[in-house]
Amino acid sequence: MAFKLSAYDRIIKAKISLQKTSPFFSHLLMNMAFTRREEIGTMGVNAQGNAVYNTEWTNKQTPAELTGVLCHETLHVALGHLSRLGAKDEEVWNIACDIAINYLVNKEKSSVMVLPKCGFLPKNGSSSLFEIKISAEKTLPVDAENKTADEMYAEIMSALPPQDKKQAPNGTGSGEGKPGRGLPAGFDKHDYTTGQETPAKTEEIQKEWGKKLIEASIFAQSRGKLPAGIARLVGELLNPKIDWRQKLYQFITNDIICNYTYRRPSRKSYSTGFYMPSTVKESLNITVAPDTSGSIDMKKYTNFMSEVTGIAKAFAQINMDILFWDTKVAKEVKITRNNSDTVMTLEPAGGGGTHMGCVKQYHKEKGKAAPSLIVWFTDGLVENKPDLLHSKHLFIVWSNATERVLDNLRPYGEVICIPDEK
């Protein structure tokens, strides 16, 4: 007689199967715990990443369907869907979030990862077109291509009849459609809040899972297996907007250190009779100074660190000092090629006013020599005449800064202005 796995064992087996096929989802699922809860009927998850499952329903799913559901649930948490309900219409938000996630999962087109037929699935042979029945007479086509859950939520809400537009009174709910309303329900159950989280706690949870999302993306990218849809979703976090290799080579040619050896002569020198040394490595010693003052929000900080990651990965050998500063240097982190993947996970330190001269003061207090090159990331809201070290300076100003603001920095080095996206 064949041994039959329990529902929990099937979940564990599905998680293990993802280690080879999808390191992104596998990495995320490591942070989720699963508990049996028969009364929910299907499977569900809360904002903390605690998942629950119904034994009978779980056992009815094929291995590929179960894997697809696990990926669905973990994306709900990682993308902050469960902590961003607020005053939104709960049912409509469920639909919008489910479509956004199912589009990403379906885009994988994997034989080991499919979605149950009871969920929201693309229609008419399209990979991105979903049809939502919003009344007995009306079906709304929703194209999920390059859209966020928030954008699709607004689209669905605008199409609903006035009498069907409801607001969540307290941010709680089951994630299942209410009788008589006519809106479809997905296959899973969402627990938006336990009733104990303060707004600050909710923000903390969302931030923590945002970090896990970035970690999983970096992990999968390093193995060449970052899903295409996920790559687009978090591309701005992982891929720098500046061609750092070109820009830095132009800016710091004299600061690149090449080590040579005579043990392996250059083949090009054989015919000349002179043995020229071979280059064995190229290294860059650099100080990076991201602004962490109160005017820098999390999105801008993430953009900063994405660019820092780009610098770290652009050179074969790198020794980087990251100085987090506001009115003082709040934290110093040393980065080499070996730990460059950790840059995106670094927590900011600071949050006060802005005084660029604090970096010079920090070097003076520590007895540190002035670095040959400092790359600054800031919004440009700095003092008029900053007291800076005698180093080369490259200023990356990430804001819609005025020319007057930029003129405060131009006397000290090259300035690159990246306008904020509207």
CA distance 81 to 77: 6
Model confidence band, residue 263 (pLDDT cutoffs 50, 70, 90) = very low
Model confidence band, residue 34 (pLDDT cutoffs 50, 70, 90) = very high
Burial class (CB in 10 A: 0-12, 13-18, 19+), 14: buried
Q: What is the pLDDT of residues 372-395, one digit of tens each?
A: 899 999 998 888 889 999 999 999
What is the CATH topology of the domain spanning 240-418? Answer: Rossmann fold (3.40.50)
Q: Which amino acid is at 223?
A: R
Tell me the mean pLDDT in the region 153-173.
Answer: 65
Q: What residue segments make up the domains of the chain, in order of their start?
A: 7-231, 240-418
Residue 136 pLDDT > 80 = no
Tell me the mean pLDDT in the region 148-154.
Answer: 87
Residue 1's pLDDT is what? 47
Instruction: Give the helix/strand (H/E) hosting 395.
Output: strand 392-398
Lowest pLDDT segment from 3-7, 132-136, 320-324: 132-136
Residue 223's pLDDT is what? 77
CA distance 338 to 316: 11
Beta-strand pair 33-36/188-191: unpaired
Please report, for residues 38, 215, 330, the alpha-carbon distance to residue 142 in angstroms, rounded to integers and kept in the order given: 33, 31, 47
Residue 323's pLDDT is what? 97
Residue 60's pLDDT is what? 93
Residue 285's pLDDT is what? 82
Q: Which residue, among 308, 310, 291, 297, has the nearest Cα to 378 in the 3D structure?
A: 291
Q: Where are the beta strands (DSSP E) in 73-147?
A: 129-133, 139-143
Structure-block tokens of residue 357:
């001269």
Residue 165's pLDDT is what? 63
Tell me the mean pLDDT in the region 244-260.
Answer: 55
Most confident stretch, 19-28, 86-95, 136-145, 286-295:
286-295
Q: What is the pLDDT of residues 58-72, one digit of tens each?
A: 999 999 999 999 999
Instruction: Map residue 140 onto helix, strand or coil.
Output: strand
Planar angle of CA 182, 150, 219, nearest 5 degrees: 120
Lowest pLDDT segment from 159-168, 241-250, 263-272, 359-368: 263-272
Instruction: Determine what percent of the chain falls in helix, strand and coil, rounding each to the nearest 5.
Output: 40, 20, 40
Residue 270 pLDDT > 50 = no
Tell me the mean pLDDT in the region 49-58.
Answer: 91
Residue 4's pLDDT is what? 81
Residue 361 pLDDT > 50 = yes
Model confidence band, residue 162 (pLDDT cutoffs 50, 70, 90) = confident
Mean pLDDT of the chain: 79
Residue 35's pLDDT is what? 92
Most confident stretch, 104-113, 154-163, 326-335, 375-384:
326-335
Model confidence band, residue 414 (pLDDT cutoffs 50, 70, 90) = confident
Residue 173's pLDDT is what? 32
Residue 13's pLDDT is what? 92
Model confidence band, residue 205 (pLDDT cutoffs 50, 70, 90) = confident
Residue 63's pLDDT is what? 92
Alpha helices in 81-148 (DSSP H): 90-107
